[in-house]
Structure 1
């Protein structure tokens, strides 16, 4: 079971651990893989957020970065899938009916990330198609699940009138808005510039991944301050 409680920390497993894992493991995996790939001269040394010099996928194609990428991203996908299930249960226990499809949407995102990761580094048109499908679905469905959880936080803010709920809701909305702007700008530039867009596409990919991870940092801070635990039943609001 899962709850929001002020009980002693030993009363259950803090959901914050799961949320921090979902926030940090993908970030660390992609950046460690980049350092390994650059060290083995498989990608150039650069700042990919600015130089758009390599894609995230390219950091996980060669050995040994390929194995680090897979060993990091597959558990990260499973963590995020579990997190969406736990967050939906928490919202429901707090009396918020929105986001019932959150575990399904988050599960699709997690499975898509696993599909992408397994296909990464493999040769053939079929694997290339699987990678493209996997990464598009992972990005899209993760964003949708984040919108769903943000609606839950909004409902709690409206119902309880607690400034702390409102503060987290505001941060989440700003981050989602920035994600949406980056995504729309990416699509528009792709349509307008055609082949010239290739020179900047990778940077957009890195920034979108960073922003998606940043949202999970907000989730981790929220459940940590709210003292949400697994296997404990109680009720309350963020502190």
Structure 2
């Protein structure tokens, strides 16, 4: 397994595990309802990480955001490796912006904890968390949409499973439709906290699955020349 593959896998597995644990701990503590937030919108992702001990686990997501940033670096290096002229400038800027969004995610998580309770007395902390979290979701979703578009343009040049780019396009389309739906509801003043929370959960899921697709894309891609083949991979290449 290559370093880029580990990054893609880690970017999916870690958030799923941490959110599951924090949800369970918060439910056990009586702070959230036990439901399906993807359908009911009964709880926000943030609600699972306010109270201790769940808040301690929730802060582990800062590591996941670092992994997201590394994923974008791997994606840029991968695209650059297939073209001697290098990647387009707008793609390079896209990657930098996406990595900046990951930094916003770290900032959003860093203030989480019981120091936010009660909300009325800590509005500045909640405002900071909300703004940075919204910017992370919005920027990352838009960057993934544009990255899917670029990979679709290069589909005949990339070394990847043929199903990978169509899956990315589907995920990007789902993110775009979700964002458009939310914008329409906000403009028409029909959004509710439940709808916003449902959107938040689904966007988080789409983002993580998008990152996971890199696991199959980067099977033969190595980030550095120092990254060696494992014995099993050497054996497989010898038999080709």
Pick the TM interval, shorter chain. Answer: 0.7 to 0.9
Tell me how far 1:68 sits from its aligned partner.
Answer: 0.2
Q: Distance in 1 between matches of 2:162 and 2:94?
A: 21
Are 2:173 and 1:177 aligned? Answer: yes
What's the secondary structure of 1:221's corresponding residue? helix
Report runs of 4+ in structure 1 exceeding 6 Å deviation: none
Task: With the length of structure 2 as denominator, give the TM-score of the two structures.
Answer: 0.82
Tell me how far 1:111 sits from its aligned partner.
Answer: 0.6
RMSD after superposition: 2.2
Tell me how far 1:125 sits from its aligned partner.
Answer: 2.0
Are 2:221 and 1:232 aligned? Answer: no
Matches within 5 A, 1:116-131: 116-121=108-113, 122-123=115-116, 124-131=122-129
> Relative contact order, CA 8 A, sep 6+: which one is greater?
1
Are 2:60 and 1:93 aligned? Answer: no
Task: With the length of structure 1 as denominator, give the TM-score of the two structures.
Answer: 0.82
Q: Distance in 2 between matches of 1:177 and 1:140?
A: 14
Contact 2:178 2:199 (8 Å CA) reproduced: yes
What are the superposed Cα offsets for residues 32-88 of structure 1, whole Å, 9 maximum, x if unpaired? 2111101111111111111211100000000111010002x1000111111111210
Q: Distance in 2 between matches of 1:145 and 1:185?
A: 18
Unaligned runs of 5+ in 2: 117-121, 228-240
Contact 1:14 1:230 (8 Å CA) reproduced: yes
What are the superposed Cα offsets for residues 158-212 of structure 1, whole Å, 9 maximum, x if unpaired? 446x8x5653222111110011111111222233344x62233211211111111
Q: Distance in 2 between matches of 1:175 and 1:135?
A: 20
Q: 1:110 aligns with which of 98, 102, 120?
A: 102
Unaligned runs of 5+ in 1: 1-8, 235-239
What's the secondary structure of 2:182's corresponding residue? helix
